[in-house]
Amino acid sequence: MPEAMTTTTSTSAPAASASASSSSSSSFNPFKRRAQQKEGPSSSATEGGGTSRKFQRARTTQPPRSPDRPRNRAGSATATTGMSYQPADTPQRSTPAPRAAAAAATTTTTTTTTPVPLPLPRRTPTPPPPPSSSSSDPITQAHSSLTALQTQLDHLSAHFDLNPSTLYFSPPSTSNADPILPFVPQNASYHSYIEDLTRLLLKLDGIDSNGDQGVRQRRRGLVAAIERQLESVEAIKKGEWERRQKVQQELSDRKSKVDELMRGFRGGGEPATTSR
């Protein structure tokens, strides 16, 4: 019994060495190892003893490599995790850290050229005009104001157009009362002229003579001229009113004479002769 065990061990030693050499050689050749795994255990390993079975058991417990994942020593192999394989002699590429990238981004500054504003020309202030003797003298100013008022009066009197026949009179309360011209469109020209002349009088009152006789005489002359214009307008109004009253009186007299003649014919007597 012991002799048989020794022979089995001695005979299985070369087979184990052969299987070990075949397994070591199969690690370098993946295609040969896949073929051996498909064919099953070798005859030398089955004929041997427990040693070859141990190697066979250890060899069968290793997970088989998938045939669709080729392996290349010189290149890169894609694993199931998606990581890229690089050989040991190839230096790995280091990706810059986010902070380093941010620091590099901050160090890169863009140079922009800002336009330099041109200096504006200095404006030389214009000196004020020297005070003239005419503007500072109050007497000269008074004469200038009187000349302007005289021009306005001449313009108003030249452009004043009043047609007395278009005036509208409101009936007075009594026969001896002054005629009244109400504010109606027919009397607009009359009222506007009276208002303009009144404004000229107010402006004349604001001019101070400062004791100068020439200014006083001119101012009195202008006041008299304005008053004459006002009197002429009032004369036109009164003349038109008197004319209309006279016409009205003649019409009433004629009407009374006609009524008297009609009463004479109705009574059968001779009509009274009327003197013309």
Is residue 152's pLDDT more than 90?
Answer: yes
> How far is 225 from 231, CA to CA, in rounded Å?
10
Is residue 95's pLDDT more than 50?
Answer: yes
Other Cβ atoms less than 10 A from the Cβ of 54: the count is: 14
Predicted local confidence at residue 245, as pLDDT: 86
Between these two residues, 169 and 42, which has the higher pLDDT value? 169
Predicted local confidence at residue 11, as pLDDT: 40
Q: Which is nearest to 181 in space by CA: 233, 231, 229?
A: 233
Question: Regarding the domain delimited by 137-267, which CATH topology (the fold level of the hierarchy) does it fall under?
Answer: Methane Monooxygenase Hydroxylase; Chain G, domain 1 (1.20.58)
Tokens of 99: 């902070």
Between these two residues, 34 and 67, which has the higher pLDDT value? 34
Lowest mean pLDDT across 110-119, 159-168, 182-191: 110-119
Chain position carrying tokens 């140079």? 111
The mean pLDDT of 249-273, rounded to a whole number, is 74
The residues, ordered by sequence, that sit 6+ positions from 36 with a Cβ below 8 Å of its Cβ are: 22, 26, 42
Is residue 128's pLDDT more than 80?
Answer: no
Predicted local confidence at residue 101, as pLDDT: 52
Tokens of 270: 């001779």
Other Cβ atoms less than 10 A from the Cβ of 135: the count is: 10
Q: Tens digits of per-residue pLDDT, 46-62?
A: 444 444 554 555 455 55
Predicted local confidence at residue 130, as pLDDT: 53
Lowest mean pLDDT across 9-13, 79-83, 152-156, 162-166: 9-13
> How far is 48 from 50, CA to CA, in rounded Å?
7
Residues of the chain with CATH 1.20.58.120: 137-267
The mean pLDDT of 39-47, rounded to a whole number, is 47
> How far is 104 from 98, CA to CA, in rounded Å?
10
Predicted local confidence at residue 143, as pLDDT: 93
Is residue 16's pLDDT more than 90?
Answer: no
Is residue 158's pLDDT more than 70?
Answer: yes
Tell me, what amino acid is at 142? A
> How far is 94 from 39, CA to CA, in rounded Å?
45
DSSP 171: P
The mean pLDDT of 127-144, rounded to a whole number, is 71
**How large is the angle between the packed helices 213-267 and 188-205, nearest 10 degrees?**
150
Backbone angles phi, psi at 84, to 5 degrees: -90, 140
Q: Tens digits of per-residue pLDDT, 96-105?
A: 555 655 555 5
Tell me, what amino acid is at 158? A
The residues, ordered by sequence, that sit 6+ positions from 223 with a Cβ below 8 Å of its Cβ are: 201, 204
Hey, CA dihedral for 162, 166, 171, 176, is it positive or negative?
A: positive
The mean pLDDT of 154-171, rounded to a whole number, is 89
CB 214 within 8 A of CB 144: no
DSSP 41: S
Could you tell me the pLDDT band of residue 93, with boundaries at 50, 70 and 90? low
Could you tell me the pLDDT band of residue 262, with boundaries at 50, 70 and 90? confident
Q: What is the pTM of this model?
A: 0.45
